[in-house]
Amino acid sequence: MSKIIFEGSEKQIELLKSEFDMLTIEHGKDKLPKHKENYYQLENLWCIDDVQERYECTKPEALDILEMSLQNGSVMGHIWNAIDYYADAENLKEKP
């Protein structure tokens, strides 16, 4: 079985653990630094249910499909392009 590592506040991690009881979720040996607690966008999370709603598959199969999809270079490229687009629209100065 695969392992996914999430980052977020202690409360966010506990909520994720309760939602994904079949996964092993770790967030490091130490508690997260306080400055990291609220700096992650977690409202648009995908889960195995999204895969299983469209395909007949087991939870581990759905997780594998989800991992491959989200780690796809094209998907990651689209996200970076969107970040660049909206940063430009907000007139943010790009770092050298």
- What was the pLDDT predicted at 87? 96
Is the pLDDT at 30 greater than 70? The verdict is no
Q: How much of the chain is helix, strand and coil, in % rounded to 5?
A: 50, 5, 45
* Domain residue spans of the chain: 1-45, 46-96
Is this structure's pTM higher than 0.85? Answer: no
Given a contact cutoff of 8 angstroms between Cβ atoms, the answer to whether 66 and 58 are in contact is no
> What's the rounded mean pLDDT across residues 83-89?
95
Is the pLDDT at 92 greater than 90? The verdict is yes
* Residue matched to tokens 């979720």: 25
Here the tokens at position 76 are 């990651």
Is the pLDDT at 54 greater than 70? The verdict is yes
Given a contact cutoff of 8 angstroms between Cβ atoms, the answer to whether 19 and 12 are in contact is no
